[in-house]
Chains A and B, each alone.
Chain A
Amino acid sequence: MPRNGSPARLVVALSVAAALAIFLVYTSIAGGGTPTLRPSQLPGHTGKVQLEGRIAGTPAGDAHGAGLRFTLHDVKGNATVPVLYRGTVPDMFAPGRAVVVSGRLRNGTFVAVPGSLLTKCPSKYTPASKS
Chain B
Amino acid sequence: MADLGRAALVTALGLLAYATVAGTFAAWKRRRRLAASAQNALLAAFGAAVAASAVLLIALARHDFSFTYVSQHTSKALPLGYTLTAFWGGQEGSLLLWLLVLCAYGASAVLWTRRIARDLLAWTVPVLGFVGSFFAFMLVFVSSPFATQAAPADGAGLNPSLQNPYMAIHPPMLYLGYVGLTIPFAFAMGALLSRRTDERWIVATRRWTLAAWTFLGVGQLLGAHWAYVEIGWGGYYAWDPVENAALMPWLAATAYLHSVMIQEKRGMLRVWNMVLVALAFCLSIFGTFLTRSGVIQSIHSFAESPLGGWFLAFICIVVVASTVLIILRLPLLRAKTRLESLVSREATFLYNNLLLVALCLTILWGVIYPIVSQLVRGETSTVSKPYYNFFLHSFGLPLLLLMGIGPLVAWRRASPRALGKTFLWPIAAALVVGAALLAGGAGSSRVGVIAYTFSVFVLASIVLEFTRGTRARKALGTETWPGAFASLIARNRRRYGGYVVHAAVVLLAIGVAGSSAYQTVRERRLGPGDSLRVAGNVYVFRGFVTRREPNHQEIRAVVDEYDSHGHKVARLAPGKNRYFREQQVSNEVSIRHDWLTGANSYLIADQINANGTVDLKVLQKPLVDLIWLAGFVFVAGSLITLWPDAREERRLVERYAGAFAEA
Contacts and interface: CB of A to CB of B under 8 A. Distances in A.
Interface of A: 1, 3, 6-8, 11-12, 15-16, 19, 22-23, 26, 30, 32-37, 41, 50, 52, 62-65, 88-89, 91-92, 98, 100, 118-129
The 8 residue pairs across chains A and B that have the minimum distance between CB atoms: A120-B301, A33-B381, A8-B339, A128-B143, A33-B383, A64-B615, A125-B302, A19-B358
Given A1-B338, A8-B268, A127 B381 contact: no
A12 B91 contact: no
A97 to B, nearest CB: 10
Given A7-B341, A65-B525, A88-B617, 9 more contacts: A11-B339, A19-B358, A26-B390, A36-B380, A37-B380, A41-B379, A62-B607, A88-B233, A128-B143
Contacts of B546: none
B306 interface: yes
A28 to B, nearest CB: 12
B301 A64 contact: no
Nearest to A118: B299
Contacts of B586: 91
B86 to A, nearest CB: 11
B305 A125 contact: yes
Contact of B297 (A7, A33, A36): A36
A127 B294 CA distance: 10
Interface string B363-377: 000000110010000
Interface in B36-90: 72, 89-90
Nearest to A116: B384
Contacts of B564: none
A124 B383 contact: no
A37 B379 CA distance: 8
B95 to A, nearest CB: 9
Interface stretch (B10-18, B347-355, B448-456): B347-355
A73 to B, nearest CB: 17
B607 A128 contact: no
A32 B384 CA distance: 10
The winner among A22, A35, A88, A129 for most chain B CB atoms within 10 A is A88
Contacts of B307: 128
B564 to A, nearest CB: 27
A26 B362 CA distance: 11
Contact of A126 (B91, B387, B609): B91
Contact of A63 (B340, B347, B394, B607): B607
Contacts of B391: 22-23, 26
B430 to A, nearest CB: 24
Contacts of B395: 19
10 contacts: A15-B358, A32-B383, A33-B382, A64-B615, A91-B587, A119-B301, A121-B159, A124-B161, A124-B300, A125-B91
Given A26-B390, A92-B584, A128-B305, A8 B383 contact: no
B585 interface: yes
Contacts of A126: 72, 90-91, 303
B625 interface: no
Contact of B338 (A6, A26, A65): A6
A103 B114 CA distance: 60
Contacts of A128: 91-92, 142-143, 305-307
B493 interface: no
Nearest to A125: B302
B292 interface: yes
Contacts of A50: 382
A37 B378 CA distance: 11
Interface in B483-540: 523, 525
A7 B304 contact: no
B339 A7 contact: yes
Contacts of A124: 89, 159, 161-162, 300-302
A22 B301 CA distance: 31
Interface in B296-326: 297, 299-307
B254 to A, nearest CB: 17
Contact of A127 (B304, B380, B383): B304
Given A88-B606, A125-B91, A23 B303 contact: no
Contacts of B566: none
B70 to A, nearest CB: 13
Nearest to A64: B615
Nearest to A9: B339
Contacts of A122: 301-303
Contacts of A36: 297, 370, 380-382
A39 B38 CA distance: 56
A124 B94 CA distance: 12
Nearest to B383: A33
B416 interface: no
Contacts of B384: 33-34
A91 to B, nearest CB: 5
Interface in B381-427: 381-384, 386-387, 390-391, 394-395
A19 B381 CA distance: 23
Nearest to B339: A8
Contacts of B394: 22, 26
B447 interface: no
Contacts of A41: 379
Contacts of B327: none
B342 interface: yes
A64 B394 CA distance: 37
Contact of B379 (A35, A52, A123): A35
B178 to A, nearest CB: 16
B380 A125 contact: no
A88 B415 CA distance: 57
A11 B586 CA distance: 51
B338 A127 contact: no
Contacts of A118: 299
Interface string B591-607: 00000000000001011
B615 A125 contact: no
A16 B91 CA distance: 39
A85 B143 CA distance: 39
Contacts of B351: 11, 15
Given A16-B354, A35-B380, A120-B297, A125 B303 contact: yes
Contact of A120 (B268, B299, B340, B341): B299
B297 A52 contact: yes
A129 to B, nearest CB: 7
Contact of A64 (B92, B369, B525, B587): B525
